[in-house]
Structures are given as structure tokens and as C-alpha cells.
Structure 1
């Protein structure tokens, strides 16, 4: 009798261990991929604007709205952060009435990656099945872009050997005033243009001191430097513009590219003393980790680095 009980107990413990390992494998299966590795090593990221080269930015996505009887039309950018997740800006979904349910799919559309020309079909295409926006985001308050971040859940994996994910900022990835960041996308070149660029462009600009007057225009609500990055060329002429919204504001650290910001808003495009504003992703990591874990797409930063980052934020001011 004792031997039988011991045998049953042993079998039970074995099943529990197998189950726990299975759950562990299930949680880890989707974040065993590399991030921030460009297929090109000779990317020019000096100050200015230029055409991109094939494979340089494999995580940059074109978000396109489906139109009956026509091809899907680009309206915003985004970045791939996991096989089925795209990070973009909440304000990209302004023109659709936002219902009470924050997970409501506000716009049926497609995500394209791997194309340089905007008229090209993406080499990889998926549809999103859910749009997740922070409850604190208030889209109908004029000029208020606090919490301007959104997460798109796709209907299938969109990455492969040629299309990877971008890294998210860890606790030791802190951007400083004067550092350059690069925006990539298909936005219009200036306020006079009426059509988005047909070719993927990259714009490299410096991060500015958030306390200067240009970063605190009176027409906009006061900016919180822990939530927003102010960046641009004060003499004008170089900037993100309509069509770039939602795209990544990236920096390179130790041969990897990190998405430190999301193209959010500004006063016009490329005006004198009118820099742009970017949602600081590090300020939203806790929210982001909660959502991606719920969707079954855990990110390594959420397991390994979030507690360190939260501690770091409490003891260090963002610049």
C-alpha cells in the first residue's frame, strides 16, 4: 500500500513538473529572437535626411487602411516589437469614434514590412485584430498627446529571417541631450506636400534640452520630460511630418538599434524653432509589459529588466 501511494505521488509530481516546464516554454517561446540587428552595417545616421537602403530597417512597418474597391492606403508607421505585435501612436486612430472598450478594433487594416517604395506590397503582410490604447489617453482634448502609444495585435507572425524586431530601451539605455536619433518612414517632406513619400526615408535629428522655450510652446500643454522627448533642428528644414506618425525614433547602442520614442506631434513640419515631440517608450514599459504578457507575446525586457528600470527611473532624471 505504501509503495502504491509513493508511486502515485511520484507520478503526480512528475506531471506537475512537466506542466510547469510546458508553461515556461510556452511563455518563452516567442521571445527567443534577436532584436535591433540591421541587415546593413553601413547605415548613414549623421544629421540630415536621406533615402534608406534595403534591409537597413527590417522592423519598420507601414500601417494601411483598407478601402473597398481599392488598395490599402498608408496612414501611419509602426515598429515590430514581437512576432505578432506592432508599436505605434494612439493618435493614428483619431478619426474613428473611440468606443468604451479600449480593445475595440478601431480601423481594419494591414501591416506591411519589407518594402522601400510605398506603392509596393510588403514582403510580409498581416492584419491587426486588436488595437490597445492606454485608458489615460484622451484623444479629444486639444493638443494633448500624453500617453500617445498604441499596440497592434496581428493575426499571424510577421517576422522571418529578413524581418526582425527592434529592441526596447532597458534600464541602462538612457538618451542624453545632443544625442542623435533617427526616424524612418514614408511621411511627407514638408507642409506643402499633399502626398506621402513613395520611398522610405530616414531623418536624423538631435535630442534637445526639454527646458528650452522651443520645447515648451505656449500653444501646447506643458511637456513632461519623463513622458516626452523633444528633438529636432531649431533652424528648421529637417523633421518628421504627416505619415511618419507612429513610426520609431531610434538610437544605436553597442551595435543594436533601440526604439526610444514614437513619432507623436509638433507644430507643423520642419519650421524654425518648432521641434517635434516623441512619446518616450521607457515611460510606458510597465503598461506595455502588462499588455504584451496578456496577449501571450512576452518580451525579454519584461522578465529581465523592468524592475531594474523602475528602480533606475526613481533615482535618475531623464534628460
Structure 2
């Protein structure tokens, strides 16, 4: 490229035209500068009670949020973008028109000591799936939550990915759940309420359907549900974990495979956790939430039976 060593001096007329053009262009330039690129989903930037679970580490699951009702932990949820959280619809039973009762706490590893880098934001409104019937064990137990204002991303606050259409969860796939729910039936998580985590294998849907069989024509496990956990019991999600994530990892990226929905009791034998399938409801979420990121895999079978093809970016009982 040729550059003149001594550019010509601009006259008053030329300078005025150039200034006007710059002023016209400046709003677009400023707006572009104000639009931050969202961080990659499902990628924790590591720093430094679920029944039978264990303490997680700080910033291990930066998309897990606490949905607070009147200042107290009520349900969990997962951050999708700077403005949207996804959770279980049943968390808002009877309070759907009272968003002022709720807030979302992000970046808090310990609820009893959230720390200065945590953020709390109000809820603008809640959009439950239109098919959800507000009954225990109903299909489509999912809701997206619009925050009052965008949050600031940090190493403790990041979005999780949704699985794209190529992801299929096979039985025995090892996934994880996380939450601040009870450690046993009727036993809340003790102070400082450190986020709990638990590895849970995916359970064959036919086996789970038989375990929860209610008679002909009364299938408890619908096509948009999946089961995970241990048939012997002892380890499971519990009250207060509702709405939290079932997370599966693909090539170092965490995908939101399901939402903690329901179960009979906590960690009882032959009563595994039941989750709302994000694969089944991905398209519905995409229609509402702008900017949600999807991920998959390009070849063959993933670890522990996670069958994936292609790549694209783009529990407890019902709460009162």
C-alpha cells in the first residue's frame, strides 16, 4: 500500500465535511464498542448438598445460580446468557405473577458467604413452557427467567452450553448435578452452604419407566424426561435442588443435558432422579432466548456412551 509521506492540507470545507461524517459514524462505532462478545459457554475458568454429594470447588460450575425467594434459597438454575436463566417451571407454582418476590444470586459458591464478586439481580418475568400443567411430575417442567438487567461475566459467572441436535445421551453416560438442596429428607445443607456436586450416570429410559410405572396409560416418564442416578439409592438430588443442572462434558465443554425436576423422596432405592430433557426442549428455549450457545461433537462416540455427531455454535418435590 502506498502512503503519502506529506499528505495534503485539508481546507475548511473539507475539514467540515470530514467532521460531519465522523459525527454521523460515531454512534455506530460507539454502539459496536459497547456490545461485548459473550464468553465461550461451558468453559469454567478455574481459580487457583445433594444427598451423598461432596463440596464443589470455587468457580467449578460458574453457570449454577441460586433463585432466591424473599431472600432465601428456593431453587437452582443455569445461566444461558447475560440476561437469561433456565430452571424448573414448578419453582414458580402459585407465584408466576409475583416476580418481585424473587431474585437470582450468581457467582456464589457458598450461599452463607457469597463474597464481593457475586451478583444479585431481580427477575423481570418468568416464561414457563406452555404445556406445563403445574402438577407434580408433569411433562415440560421448564421455564426461562428474564433478569431485570444484564449481568457482568467473570471467572465465577459464565454461561453453560445447550446440546445441539447431534447430541444423544446413552445409558451409563456419566454426568454431574450441582445444587444447594437438602443433604437428606428434612435436613438442609449446613452453613456456609457450599455448593454440592454429584456424579450421576444416565439410566435407560425403559428401565426408569418400569420403576415409576403407574399402570396402563399412566406413564410417569414422558418422552421429554430422562433419568439419572443410582438404583440402590443413597445418592441423589433433593428438595432445594430443583431447577439445577444435569451437566455432561463433551471435549472439555459442559452441556446442559437436563433440569432437576422431580422424584419420589430423596435417594430412595429404585427411585432415581427425573430430569427435564434439554434436548427435547432446546428449540423452545432458542425461540425465546437470544444468544444462547449450542455445542456438539464432530465424530463417532464420546466417552461413557455419549453419542454425538456434528458441531454448531450459535429435583426435588414441587416447591410451594
TM-score bracket relative to the smaller structure: 0.7 to 0.9
Q: Which has the larger radius of gyration?
A: 2
**Counterparts in 2 of 1:114 and 1:213: CA distance versus 1, 3 Å:** closer
Computed over aligned residues only, the root mean square deviation of the Cα atoms, in angstroms, reads 2.7
Counterparts of 2:148 and 2:74, CA distance in 1: 20
- In structure 1, the residue matched to 2:132 is 137
The alignment covers a number of residue pairs equal to 257
1:64 matches 2:68: yes
Corresponding position of 1:93: 92
Q: Is the 8 A contact 2:141 2:261 kept in 1?
A: yes
Other-structure match for 1:39: 45
Question: Equivalents in 2 of 1:77, 1:52: separation in Å?
Answer: 15
Structure number with higher helix proportion: 1
Question: After superposition, what is the alpha-carbon deviation per residue over 1:173-220, rounded to whole angstroms, capped at 9, x for unaligned?
Answer: 221100111111101111141x24511100111111111156541359
- Structure 1 residues 267 and 173: CA distance shift in structure 2, 3 A: same
Residue 239 of structure 2 corresponds to which residue in structure 1? 242
Deviates more, 1:83-92 or 1:48-57: 48-57
d(CA) in 2 for partners of 1:135 and 1:183? 26
TM-score, scaled to structure 2: 0.73
Asked if the contact 1:31/1:298 (under 8 Å) is kept, the reply is no
Shift of 1:269: 0.4
Q: 2:74 — aligned with what?
A: 75
The answer on whether the counterparts of 1:105 and 1:129 sit within 8 Å (CA) in structure 2 is no
Gaps of 5+ in 1: 1-17, 43-47, 67-71, 99-103, 303-311, 313-319
Asked if residue 172 in structure 1 is aligned to residue 169 in structure 2, the reply is no
Going from structure 1 to structure 2, the CA distance change for 1:49 and 1:215 (only over 3 Å counts) comes to farther
Consecutive unaligned residues in structure 2, runs of 5 or more: 1-24, 296-308, 310-320
* Aligned match for 1:152, one of 140, 145, 151: 145
With over 3 angstroms needed to count, the CA separation of the structure-2 counterparts of 1:127 and 1:106, relative to structure 1, is closer
Deviation track 1:269-307 (CA, whole Å, cap 9, x = no partner) reads 000111010000111122111112xxxx332449xxxxx
2:90 counterpart SS class: helix
SS at match of 2:287: helix
Deviation per residue, 1:41-98 (Å, 9 max, x gap): 99xxxxx6210001101110001012xxxxx1001000100001001000111243x5
Q: Distance in 1 between matches of 2:277 and 2:239?
A: 19
